[in-house]
Chain A
């Protein structure tokens, strides 16, 4: 049917079956929408038929004629035996074919009627089959290799029927009959759908019905009873509950090379987990179906394992045991239906199929007492010009149904308190029971009387009432009753306390706890289905197995790690904070001059004072706690570890008084390796060069020496210093300063102690030793270095130095 695929634009590639699959889903939706109990049948048909029957009856055909017609209608000559018609066929009896106003007058049916009896169905079937294999093949899925044996014959006339309902296509079908089968494509899309739907309809509904049945009986997991009985306690059960039954391959493989899509779609085999969301086994909106033939059910179950759903256990379901046995053999049912009543004056054509009304009547009669049982077509209370009910409601395709509690129920004298009502407070229950009883007591006599006269009562069966009550009870479920129904709980608590007080605890039967349907809070974590041994994830994602688009991995750090990290961050923040503070001071200091100019004379003094304090403060933050002349190493390090801090220092130094500036520089020199290491990323130490240069130039010889010493302070410091650009620059600066001092002022004290000489010697030694690769080039090379070195080292070394440091002789 790929012709039709074009019409069906939302047919995806996945659906190889094409149209067929779509049908299935529509079907299921139909079920969900209209419920299991919804009759899929064409009520107009039914109505017509029943109307005709009624007319004929009124025309005085009499029971016999009816019987004959009915028998003929039943087809297959089964009129003698009362049998349950195939439930799935809402049989539009072929008796409706005969009426001449059917436009298929060219059809054999009128002739068929004359035949009557036995082979009506067969002949009809053959005729249609021969004439219209297309239709027949559509009827096929209901046929061979299939569940119900009873289906094929009725379904064919049934399907044949439907083309008759679509007049525009009549000429096609009827004309097509003699020459050959009309091509399926000639059937309209709608018609075709119609046909397919007919054929397919019974199955899913039966499936879901079974599940419904099971649900009532077995609790949370809805597994087809057939399978259930087989594997009661096996470990398989758990697996099945977990994963779901495997999809049964569609039983209809193409035979005789027929087009698969022409057949009715295979039953919906939807995995519970993979694929689109499964049809809820028990759509809550569907009223209970009447129990169908047990045989049917059973066959149904075996052939079509339905989706298994793992559901949260709902406790209350257990509390609704059906008040009548669900599985009754057809015979038993019929016995129940027929025996208490004398045979009702309904046409045998209706046969044992009890309509809702009939069931209600039955119940009424049971209630009212047998003598009143058979009142023919009932008279309506209160008159009215309504037609007798008889013609109106289409018979359900359900089998006969006891219609409520089994007959022995009448003997229960007292009102039955169902267990479900214990959900409510026992006091409450008691109250209402009393109320009911009192009410019942008053009106008992009259009620019964009235009820017996009301032929339409009990149209809503007990089961249906229970079903509605069940839904309503479900709405009362709560995981936290105090949250959901605070006032109810409180009210009854108070009442109970009050009663206890009043009665002084005479009645011990009070339970102190309130009983409301409580559902345990369940964790509904979804675990996507994973196939063992498969690579990667499912390719098809659906509502039920959503696929992660982004694999987010949560890296959860341990507490310790987190603490450490936090500490680090905190420290850094602290440093930055300090730096910020200092900066603000510094800025003030820097702006001092400007302000100084602006302020009037009187206030200048104050401003000056302020300025001084600021600078002092700045220095104070840097220096050691106790010693005034030494910069706190840690503090310095801390500040300098941050780029901002370095900048700060570089700006700060010019404003410091010389002594303090010197100490700062000392501190820098002392900690140079550490600073250098920290600076690797930033490389901003060189900002310091300028201010330091200024400072150095103002240093005394002693302090210069000290500085040099600081620079070389610890073991291996110098080498590290030399590795750093800044360090080298600083070194050079110091040396050049020393040289300048020496050269300019012969009487300088630089040479007084040997420190300077020694230091320089060590420097030179180091310089020579250090491989030139690790010697970093300075920012600039002071010109007088060579002269310095020439004082201390011999010629050879000098030359080496020269080469190494690339001090050109010209720079002398």
Chain B
């Protein structure tokens, strides 16, 4: 029993500290929408993370695909949230894993349909006189170019 239990240190009980999460598998959601799953190996005071054996998981509907990425170092400010993955519960999920190519294709389709919807919405609004700024075509100074 002695040898199997690792020495436990009570780091900052009651606070949100990542120290206890080290060497555990985590799911990290980034600000750009990516989902990374990996073993949290190291942290620092800014909550920069070192993830090992990272896998980027793309979800489309009920299906997902994993892209192995290796070692990630994530700057703390880009993390939206992260949570520990229970290794036992990890396997019982209703989501279906597919291969990468498929999921990428699905994602592409999803993006496309979204964009089209966005465009039609934008057009409809424009016809009604409301011009919503589209972040992708907006300049620094908020100038919109109507192409």
Contacts and interface: CB of A to CB of B under 8 A. Distances in A.
B10 A386 contact: no
A283 B2 CA distance: 38
Contacts of B12: 421, 424, 469, 472-473
A183 interface: no
A16 to B, nearest CB: 39
Given A386-B70, A454-B23, A368 B3 contact: yes
A459 B41 CA distance: 6
B8 interface: yes
Given A418-B10, A459-B42, A464-B42, A445 B22 contact: no
Interface string B8-20: 1111111101010
A317 to B, nearest CB: 16
Contacts of A216: none
Given A421-B13, A460-B22, A472-B15, A367 B8 contact: no
A436 B5 CA distance: 12
B45 interface: yes
10 contacts: A284-B45, A369-B4, A410-B2, A418-B10, A433-B13, A440-B8, A457-B23, A468-B45, A471-B45, A476-B15
A716 interface: no
Given A413-B2, A421-B12, A473-B12, A468 B43 contact: yes
Contacts of B70: 386
Nearest to B20: A436
B64 interface: no
A110 B1 CA distance: 55
B13 A465 contact: no
A384 interface: yes
A411 B43 contact: no
Interface string B120-142: 00000000000000000000000
Nearest to A382: B53
Contacts of B45: 284-285, 468, 471-472
Given A447-B6, A456-B39, 4 more contacts: A416-B9, A440-B8, A448-B6, A459-B50
Kindly list the 5 A-B residue pairs having the minimum CB-CB distance in the complex, ordered from nearest.
A448-B4, A432-B13, A415-B8, A457-B23, A471-B45
A351 to B, nearest CB: 25
Contact of B8 (A411, A416, A456): A416
B3 A448 contact: yes
A417 B10 contact: yes
Contact of A444 (B1, B14, B50): B1
> Which of B19, B23, B50, B52 has the most CB atoms of chain A within a 10 A radius of its CB?
B23
Interface in B73-106: 87
A405 interface: yes
B87 to A, nearest CB: 8
A777 B15 CA distance: 93
Contacts, number: 117
A457 B41 CA distance: 7
B32 to A, nearest CB: 24
B116 interface: no
A411 B4 CA distance: 11
Given A421-B12, A471-B45, A440 B17 contact: no
A436 to B, nearest CB: 6
A287 B43 CA distance: 10
Interface in B36-72: 39, 41-45, 50, 52-53, 68, 70
A464 B53 CA distance: 21
B68 to A, nearest CB: 6
A464 B17 CA distance: 14
A380 B39 CA distance: 12
A547 interface: no
A460 B41 contact: yes
Contacts of B1: 413, 444
Interface string A281-311: 0001101000000000000000000000000
Interface in A409-439: 409-413, 415-418, 421, 424-425, 428-429, 431-433, 436-437
Given A386-B70, A421-B12, A469 B3 contact: no
A462 B7 CA distance: 10
A428 B13 contact: yes
A410 B41 contact: no
A460 B31 CA distance: 25
Given A382-B53, A469-B12, A412 B7 contact: yes
A432 B4 CA distance: 21
A458 interface: yes
Contacts of A471: 45
A416 B8 CA distance: 6
B43 to A, nearest CB: 6
Interface string A671-709: 000000000000000000000000000000000000000
Nearest to B16: A472
A409 B53 CA distance: 30
A468 B10 contact: no
A287 to B, nearest CB: 7
A285 B44 CA distance: 9
A469 B19 contact: yes
Given A287-B44, A456-B39, A436 B10 contact: yes
Nearest to B45: A471
A460 B45 CA distance: 13
Contacts of A367: 3-4, 6
A318 interface: no
A368 B5 CA distance: 9
Contacts of A417: 10
A437 B10 CA distance: 10
Contact of B11 (A287, A409, A451, A469): A469
Contacts of A433: 10, 13
Interface in A76-129: none
> Which of A385, A413, A444, A465 has the most CB atoms of chain B within a 10 A radius of its CB?
A465
Contacts of B22: 460, 465
Contacts of A444: 1, 4-5
A410 B1 CA distance: 10
B43 A460 contact: yes
B10 A445 contact: no
B41 A456 contact: yes
Interface in A199-222: none
B54 to A, nearest CB: 11
A509 B74 CA distance: 44
Given A447-B4, A448-B4, A421 B19 contact: no
A42 interface: no
